[in-house]
Amino acid sequence: MRRSLCLVTLGVLIATGPALAQQGNQPFTPSGEIQVPSGPAIDRMLDSNTVPSPDKEFSANDAKAIQQMDQRAKRIDQEVKKGICNGC
């Protein structure tokens, strides 16, 4: 009898452990409901300065942008080479 009671208790603990762990890390809201921001709230978030502006260093034309990136890569390689080897 004691052995079966221990097995039942162990089974209950194994079954409830993961369920309790999952519920413990969920965000708390007073009503227990998920709050979805409204359209104007989303617009305010998008208009705020939290998102950086796109990089204006490269052209919008793909072929021109690839050429500009290649030129920048060559310039960076030359600067690195100067820093590594003075006699190159």
Distance from chain centroid for Cα 25: 18
Tens of pLDDT, residue by residue over 47-80, are 776 555 556 677 778 888 889 889 988 988 888 8
Tens of pLDDT, residue by residue over 7-40, are 888 887 787 766 666 555 555 666 667 777 788 8
